[in-house]
Amino acid sequence: MLKRKFAGSELIVLDFYDPGKHTEVSIRKAREVYPPFPGTLNVNTGSLPLEDELANKVFAIFLAHEIRDHVERIAFFKEMGRILAPFHWGSVFSGQHG
C-alpha cells in the first residue's frame, strides 16, 4: 500500500524483531500470519544501517509499542530521527492497533 501511495519512492523495509528480546505472544502470532515483506532487512533497533538524513518519511506501523524496554525504545526513536531529512522535510508516522 505504501509503495502505491508513494510511487517513485524507494521503499526500504526494516525488521527489528529479536525473539530473545521481543517475547510478546502477539508478535509471534502476527509473524506466523504475516510473513516479512520481500527484501526486508533485519536490523538492530539501536543501529539502523541507513545513512544520516536519508529518509523523508519513516513509518513505524504496529511496532513501536512492542519495544517494551524503555532504553531500547528511546534508542530506536533516536535512530529514526538520525535517518530523517532535516527540518520540516522529515516525518515519522507511528500507527498502533487497538
pLDDT in tens, 20-78: 888 888 778 888 888 888 999 999 999 999 999 998 888 887 677 778 899 999 999 89
Q: Is the dihedral of CA 71, 50, 17, 88 positive or negative?
A: positive
Q: Using CA atoms, how far apart are residues 50 and 9, in angstroms rounded to an integer?
A: 16
The confidence score (pLDDT) of residue 92 equals 62
pLDDT at residue 89 is higher than 80:
no
State the DSSP H helix or E strand holding residue 94, giving kind and residue range, or none if neither.
strand 91-95
Can you read off the three cell numbers belonging to residue 74?
A: 528511546
Tell me the three cell numbers of residue 64.
513501536
